[in-house]
Amino acid sequence: MSQLSNLFGQKFGLTERDLERYLSEALSKGGDYADLYFEYLATSSISLDESIVKSATQGVSLGVGVRVLSGERTGYAYSDDLSPDRILKAARTAACIASGPATELTAGLKSAEQRNLYPVPILAGDTPLVERVQLVKRADAAARAHDSRVFQVQAIYADSVRHVLVATSDGRLSTDIQPMARLNVAALAREDNGVPQRGYAGGGGRVGLDFFTGAHSPEAFAEDSARQAILQLHAIDAPAGEMTVVLGPGWPGILLHEAVGHGLEADFNRKGVSAFSGRIGQQVASPLCTVVDDGTIASRRGSLNVDDEGETTQQNVLIENGVLRGYLTDKLSARLTGGQSTGSGRRENYQHYPMPRMTIPSCSPAKVTRRRS
């Protein structure tokens, strides 16, 4: 059988027959389901401080994780070596969680329907390093030019590209190329030897280097960070005590993620350890509150064509007008509860758990929408 057309086929000679062999080995002791997760991650970063490029790094990490599900039990093993012997060893290790007759593998692998939420013609990592270095230098110059009271500037640029391949024992083959790039600028301002004040701005997403123009240019981020620092030079302390706080779009959504998001993961709810367990259809928040998990917003940091289990991401209404409507579900919870995956399967260090990645893009008296950043 010919090699796969993606990076794993071109660079490591991987074929569909290899994938079927590894999956068969993973199910050799039984089990209900198995999958393979291949990842190749290339990263680079540039840091500027005191108008000097202090560091420039590049790196590559890769590996494969093998997972076997047997009832509520999960067998898992991984290898950072993509040679056949090491992958087979990982598959045999993961298989040890199961016992019983060998499960028959679905004949053949069928490529999942592809979509592209982040079309990037030229990946940031494929551009000359000098072009990326210029971004932090331009940011430094613009922040210092904004006001003479700006005495220090820090600029950090980072990009990555993640190649992912997921093969499952039910015959699904999914691939994805996930770009990411971001530029952060911090400015420090001081007046008459007073207390230094800091301003911060930045942006990025699943984008290429062409993103950093116009409103997202190094100059725009630098001027915004410097403006914040200068503004705070004459700011007064906030009064003590309880008060109403309005959260704007963006990173404040992390507060919602930590306070509510983890509690809406299906595994916690099927185990009965979440405050939302068994409360589908009940009022759990103000009627003014609607919470939506959305992994389909084009070019956003938390958007994915497929999750880490090869499932298509989607928009999930979790709380609607204060009423609990559903949970964030991965394949394991879906199998155990008889439901459907919501495209929320995620691995950390090649391990699975459902994970909402959201921010708040809009906030009004009528609706608070929670989305992936």
Least confident of 167-176, 346-355, 363-372: 363-372
Q: Tell me: pLDDT of 249 over 80.
A: no
Q: What's the pLDDT score for residue 245?
A: 84
The enclosing H or E element of 293 equals: strand 291-294
Rounded mean pLDDT of the chain?
90
pLDDT over 90 percentage in the chain: 81
Q: Tell me: pLDDT of 350 over 90.
A: no
- Confidence band of 101 (pLDDT split at 50, 70, 90): confident
CATH number of 124-166+174-234: 3.30.2290.10
Mean pLDDT of 307-335: 95
Contact 293, 328 (CB under 8 A): yes
Q: Tell me: pLDDT of 317 over 60.
A: yes
Q: Which residue has the higher pLDDT, 273 or 249?
A: 273
Q: Tell me: pLDDT of 361 over 50.
A: no
Other CB atoms within 10 Å distance of the CB of residue 65: 22
- Confidence band of 368 (pLDDT split at 50, 70, 90): very low
pTM of the model: 0.88
C-alpha of 95 from chain center:
28
Mean pLDDT of 281-306: 94
Mean pLDDT of 225-230: 98
- Confidence band of 251 (pLDDT split at 50, 70, 90): confident
pLDDT over 70 percentage in the chain: 92
Least confident of 170-179, 232-241, 305-314, 351-360: 351-360
Mean pLDDT of 116-143: 97
Mean pLDDT of 24-47: 96
Residue 199 pairs in a beta bridge with: 187
Q: Express each pLDDT in 178-189 by its tens digit.
A: 999 999 999 999
Rg value, the chain, Cα: 24
Contact 209, 132 (CB under 8 A): yes
User: Which of 368, 168, 342 lies closest to 266, judged by CA?
Assistant: 342
Q: Express each pLDDT in 301-311 by its tens digit.
A: 989 999 999 99
Q: Tell me: pLDDT of 275 over 80.
A: yes
Q: What's the pLDDT score for residue 369?
A: 33
- Confidence band of 254 (pLDDT split at 50, 70, 90): confident
Give the domain ranges of the chain: 7-40+57-111, 124-166+174-234, 253-371
Burial of 362 (0-12, 13-18, 19+ CB in 10 A): exposed
User: Which of 41, 340, 276 lies closest to 164, judged by CA?
Assistant: 41
Burial of 365 (0-12, 13-18, 19+ CB in 10 A): exposed
Check residue 71 and report its DSSP letter.
Answer: T
Mean pLDDT of 286-311: 93
Q: What's the pLDDT score for residue 347?
A: 63
User: Which of 90, 84, 106, 100 lies closest to 28, judged by CA?
Assistant: 100
Residue 221 to residue 182: CA distance in whole angstroms:
11
Q: Express each pLDDT in 15-30 by its tens digit.
A: 999 999 999 999 999 9
